[in-house]
Amino acid sequence: MKNIVIIGAGPAGRFAAMDAAEKSNNVTLIEKRHIGGKCLNHACMVVCALADVAKHVSESKNFNDLGIVESQIKLNYTKIAQKIRETQKRIRPILTAETTGTGVEYVRGEATVDAERKVVVVDDEDEYPYDKLLVCTGSSPRLPNIPGVENAYTYKDTLKFKEIPEKLVIIGGGSTAAEYANIFSCFGSQVDVLCRSSFLKMLDDSRTEEYIVANLLKNTIVHENVEIKEITDRSVITNYGEIEGTVLLATGVVPNSDIVKDIVEVDKKGNIIVDSHMQTSNPDIYAAGDVIGGLLSTPVSRMEGMVAINNIMDNEVEADYSLVPLTITLNYDVSYLKGDEVNNNGKELAIPGAAGPGSFWNMLTGKTGLTKENIDLESGKINNILAITPSSNIALPYMVKAIKDGDADFGNFIEIHPSTDGIFKLTQYFKRYL
């Protein structure tokens, strides 16, 4: 039995703690704010809650435009924010019970580390000795070095808006920028997205970017290659002039590694450097989740936390970053593969989305989505998949599992029509080239 102390009860720390406790260790999980980390309290769940309302507004508008429904939606943003907070409050004790139910000792307070004595100190008072320490302290919004940056909101503040901004200027060009552009443009804001280089460049596909801007983001202007000079309390001053609106930063995150930065090696950005076992330069200290940088997603953070625990318990396991599915939550999910093995080197095939749940009523406007695969015709290996469909966030992970298990025979695969057809049918279609 080992004394394992874990700092941070976000996705990485919480899953690691439960896994370690179930494997009969003494586990202490320390959290300075709320259980669930940024995922429940500021990020994934808030985006998901707001995106559900946005989807409702967007569908209602479509039904009105088609003349099949007559309704007028009036949003109350303060109420939306209040209900999200109430829901988070309801979820936290459930997560706490789930965690402590496995035998984890859950401690609230701010942790610091004394690596010489191998103890974690909480709120400068209580001490928790460890055999092995796992650092899962996550990340915080990155505030770029721009004059007036204090005038901008970040993802941590979106529930503080008193009302829906008439104009919103989003600085950043990644998933978070796209998600907030979708949400607030559906809510009625005129949105400007300012990108330092290109929009959604992680998709590495300008035609998909164009599809998203033209078909999914309404009332949104995307500006690329913008240099930002200053942020004021009501605008952003750029090399192209002044753009007015409430300013929201979607400029990425920085790792919360300060408490160990003098104890373990960190890179230039402050990410804790780990090996494939999640072990740091100090053999008794492991790290997982956003604090080590990388793909910055909840399932990846959880996977890393559990890899760390396995290695702490001497079961040698390596983190596997091949074919990691990710999603941008818009009115259709934009799901795509990321990971070591993904490339655009093969042959590409694309089909428009089918009519089905969530897309039927867009058939008449031709906006049913898009699915693309890139395959190596010699080996038959799927290099990448991109799926813009209502259910792609569910279909793609299962597709990845099938690919990883080497099961490319979809002949006897029984689907639920019409949700998964796009990706699986495309794979079948490709088989004629093999």
Ligand X SMILES: Cc1cc2nc3c(=O)[nH]c(=O)nc-3n(C[C@H](O)[C@H](O)[C@H](O)COP(=O)(O)OP(=O)(O)OC[C@H]3O[C@@H](n4cnc5c(N)ncnc54)[C@H](O)[C@@H]3O)c2cc1C
Residues 239-258 contacting ligand X, CB under 6 A? 253, 256
Nearer to ligand X, 10 or 165 (CB): 10
- Single out the residue of 4, 8, 20, 254 in contact with ligand X (rule: CB under 6 A): 8
Phi, psi of 374 (to 5 degrees): -120, 125
Compute the least distance from the CB of residue 33 to ligand X, in Å: 4
Query: Which one, 157 or 318, has the nearer CB to ligand X?
Result: 157
For the bound state, the minimum distance from the C-beta of residue 270 to ligand X, rounded and expressed in Å, comes to 13
Does the footprint of ligand X cover residue 342 (CB under 6 A)? no
**Does 189 participate in binding ligand X (rule CB under 6 A)?**
no
359 binding ligand X? (CB under 6 A): no
Window of 31-39, 124-132, 198-206, 345-353 that interacts with ligand X by CB under 6 A = 31-39
Q: Per CB under 6 A, does 172 bind ligand X?
A: no
Q: Which residues contact 379 (CB under 8 A, 6 or more apart)?
A: none
Q: Furthest-apart CA pair in the chain: how many Å?
A: 71
- Least Cβ distance, residue 232 to ligand X (angstroms): 24
The residue length of the chain stands at 434
Contact 391, 335 (CB under 8 A): no
Nearer to ligand X (CB atom), residue 139 or residue 208: 139
Instruction: Check: CB of residue 273 under 8 Å from CB of residue 281.
Output: yes
- Scanning 42-50, 274-282, 374-382, 396-404 for contacts with ligand X by CB under 6 A, the matching segment is 42-50
Contact segment (CB under 6 A) with ligand X among 33-41, 241-249, 396-404, 421-429 equals 33-41
Q: Do the Cβ atoms of 394 and 419 come closer than 8 Å?
A: yes
171 part of the interface to ligand X, by CB under 6 A = no
CB of residue 46 to ligand X, shortest distance in Å: 7
Q: Which is nearer to ligand X, 38 or 132 (CB)?
A: 38
Among 19, 31, 373, 421, which residue interacts with ligand X (rule: CB under 6 A)? Answer: 31
Q: Using CB under 6 A, count the residues that bind ligand X.
A: 36
Pick 299 or 339: Cβ nearer ligand X: 299
State the minimum distance, in angstroms, from the CB of residue 233 to ligand X: 23
Q: How far is the CB of 13 from ligand X (least distance, A)?
A: 5
Sheet holding 246-249, edge to edge: 220-223, 190-194, 167-171, 246-249
Closest distance to ligand X from the beta carbon of 182 (Å) = 12
Binding test (CB under 6 A) with ligand X, winner from 54, 57, 84, 136 = 136
Which residue is associated with the tokens 């970040």?
Answer: 154
The closest of 290, 354, 332, 31 to 155, measured between CA atoms, is 290
Alpha-carbon gap, residue 374 to 106, rounded angstroms? 46
**Cβ-based nearer residue to ligand X, 114 or 210:** 114
349 lies in the site for ligand X, by CB under 6 A: no
Question: Among the candidate windows 77-85, 294-302, 341-349, 408-416, which touches ligand X by CB under 6 A?
Answer: 294-302
- For residue 123 the two structure tokens come to 């709120």
Both tokens of 251, joined, read: 């400029």
Reported for 346-349, long-range contacts at CB under 8 A and 24+ positions apart, including other chains, are 346/374, 346/375, 346/376, 346/377, 346/381, 346/383, 347/374, 347/375, 347/376, 347/377, 347/433, 348/372, 348/373, 348/374, 349/373, 349/375, 349/426, 349/429, 349/430
For 72, 88, 89, 302, the CA distances from 37, given in Å and listed in that order, are 37, 11, 13, 12
Exposure letters 397-426 (e unless 16+ CB within 10 A, then b): bebbebbeeeebebeeeeeeebbbbbbbeb
176 binds ligand X (CB under 6 A): yes
Which range of residues in 36-44, 61-69, 278-286, 403-411 is near ligand X by CB under 6 A?
36-44
Report helix, strand or coil for 290: helix
Alpha-carbon torsion (381, 384, 389, 394), positive or negative: positive
| CA quadruple 143, 148, 153, 156: dihedral sign | positive
**Contact string (CB under 6 A) for ligand X, positions 263-292, x = contact:** --------------------------xx--
Check: CB of residue 8 under 8 Å from CB of residue 99. no
Is 170 a binding residue for ligand X by CB under 6 A? The answer is no
User: Is residue 38 near ligand X by the rule CB under 6 A?
Assistant: yes
If binding is defined by CB under 6 A, does position 33 make contact with ligand X?
A: yes
**Which whole-number Å values give the CA distances from 52 to 58, 65, 421, in the listed order?**
10, 20, 23
* Site for ligand X, rule CB under 6 A: 7-13, 30-33, 37-39, 43-44, 47, 110-111, 136-139, 155, 176, 253, 256, 259, 289-290, 296-299, 301, 329
